[in-house]
A = this chain, B = another copy of it.
Amino acid sequence: MTAPTDHSSANAKPARSGRTLISVDAMGGDQGAAAVVAGCALSASANSDIAFILHGDEKLLTPLVAKRRELAGRCEIRHTTDVVTMDDKPSQVLRTGKDTSMWSAIESVRTGDAAVAVSCGNTGALMAVSMIRLKKLPGVNRPAIAVLYPSSNPQGFNVMLDVGADIRADADDLMRFALMGMSYARNGMNMERPRVGLLNVGTEEHKGRSELKEAYDLIRDQSEIAGYEFVGFVEGGDISGHRADVIVTDGFTGNVAIKTGEGTASMIGARLREAFRYSPLSRLASLLAYTSLMRLRKAIDPRRVNGGVFLGLNGTVVKSHGSADATGVSAAIKLAAQLSANRFNDKLAARVAAALPVEETEE
């Protein structure tokens, strides 16, 4: 089997400097353009192989970029006049969003100027624009959003998808999610042979939800040729556990699950801070344990692993948290750079196409 050759748009056109170009929506996040530019600067100093196409208001961006020595000669600004807000409806953005920084950022991937786009903007709108402009890969019925969830695995997190690109998935979609998630784990996280689990309410074969039983067989059947280990059904507790590296589920369940986990983590964090404020002794304790607690915070900090990635399109889109600060933006850019360097989307396209029935791959 050979990789399809018609996905040249997924390859980055190298900048004049020979650097990998990353397309960045500078306007969409809650923290404003300054945080995004600061994130680019952080990434630029950590990785000399990357450069940026920044999309947004030129008047605003030019002085922000000029202030950062690290970005000298490594930022092309593409002027846009409009911004997608967090309240904008996806359908509305599709109709009237052509002049937004988000649209322009995706456009740079469509034309092949960059292999990967990064945005902190409105997730629904970003998915809609990405779908319409980049189009789905052959063999993909539903694209998916994959996130990294903190886990007790050696790598410190698991890949989980779909977490909300769509609210449903049939058995065939779930099998593609397995392939896409595996490809992401391999190319984004350097895992040679990821273990894939299918989310269910129990690990034994379960009555009902026939699409899960069907997906079980499909995912198992692909495991050898695709080079992953299928560990079978996993439960909610395994999302943060060590039984699997890739957790496959539909977008409704995945979205509820990760928000439940994040909410629980932040409730515990708040209670912990309260506990440490409670008495003079506990306040002293929090000072003594400061370094250890900061290390813990870093390990379970969503900002460090916040690159939600849209998979299954002709081009990769990394969605950063809306509230991402410079650290968060920089983490998303780091992921984007690695995926771009690994020619991830070509490999993913080949992988998904390989799972198609023969007559379809020959289309």
Please give the residue numbers on chain A whose beta carbons come within 8 Å of chain B beta carbons, in ascending order.
150-152, 164, 167-168, 199, 201, 206-209, 235-241, 249, 251-253, 255-268, 270-272, 274-276, 278-279, 281-282, 284-289, 291-293, 295-296, 299-300
Are A260 and B263 in touch, CB under 8 angstroms? no
Q: How many copies does the complex hold?
A: 2
B residues in contact with A261, CB < 8 Å? 236, 260-261, 263-264
Are B276 and A289 in touch, CB under 8 angstroms? yes
Quick one: given A267-B152, A270-B152, A271-B299, are A279 and B260 in contact (CB under 8 Å)? Answer: no
B residues in contact with A207, CB < 8 Å? 167
Q: Can you list the 9 inter-chain pairs with the closest CB atoms, starting with the nearest?
A: A236-B259, A237-B263, A285-B289, A285-B288, A236-B260, A275-B292, A282-B292, A261-B264, A285-B285
- Chain B residue nearest to A236 (CB atoms) is B259
Looking at the complex, which one of B164, B238, B265 makes contact with A268 (CB distance below 8 Å)?
B265
Looking at the complex, which one of B237, B239, B274, B288 makes contact with A282 (CB distance below 8 Å)?
B288
Q: Give the distance to chain B from A56, nearest Cβ to Cβ, in Å.
A: 27
How far is it, in angstroms, between the C-alpha of A299 and the C-alpha of B274 when the chains are bound? 12
Quick one: given A271-B300, A275-B293, A276-B289, are A167 and B252 in contact (CB under 8 Å)? Answer: no
Looking at the complex, which one of B150, B167, B201, B238 makes contact with A208 (CB distance below 8 Å)?
B167
Q: Give the distance to chain B from A172, nearest Cβ to Cβ, in Å.
A: 18
How far is it, in angstroms, between the C-alpha of A315 and the C-alpha of B241 when the chains are bound? 37
- Chain B residue nearest to A255 (CB atoms) is B201
B residues in contact with A296, CB < 8 Å? 271-272, 274-275
Looking at the complex, which one of B201, B208, B265 makes contact with A256 (CB distance below 8 Å)?
B201
Are A209 and B260 in touch, CB under 8 angstroms? no
B residues in contact with A201, CB < 8 Å? 164, 167, 251-252, 255-256
Looking at the complex, which one of B206, B240, B263 makes contact with A263 (CB distance below 8 Å)?
B240
How far is it, in angstroms, between the C-alpha of A256 and the C-alpha of B163 when the chains are bound? 13
B residues in contact with A259, CB < 8 Å? 235-237
Starting from the known contacts A167-B209, A285-B289, 9 additional A-B residue pairs (CB-CB under 8 Å) come to: A150-B267, A152-B270, A236-B257, A240-B260, A261-B261, A265-B268, A276-B292, A279-B292, A282-B292
- Chain B residue nearest to A206 (CB atoms) is B167
Are A241 and B257 in touch, CB under 8 angstroms? no
B residues in contact with A237, CB < 8 Å? 259-260, 262-263, 266
- Chain B residue nearest to A293 (CB atoms) is B275
Are B272 and A258 in touch, CB under 8 angstroms? no
Are A295 and B278 in touch, CB under 8 angstroms? yes
Looking at the complex, which one of B199, B240, B263, B281 makes contact with A238 (CB distance below 8 Å)?
B263
- Residue pairs across A and B with Cβ atoms less than 8 A apart, 25 shown, are A150-B267, A151-B267, A199-B256, A201-B252, A201-B256, A235-B259, A236-B257, A237-B263, A239-B264, A240-B264, A253-B253, A256-B256, A257-B260, A268-B300, A271-B299, A272-B272, A272-B296, A274-B296, A276-B292, A279-B291, A281-B289, A281-B292, A282-B291, A285-B288, A285-B289
B residues in contact with A266, CB < 8 Å? 237, 240
- Chain B residue nearest to A160 (CB atoms) is B260
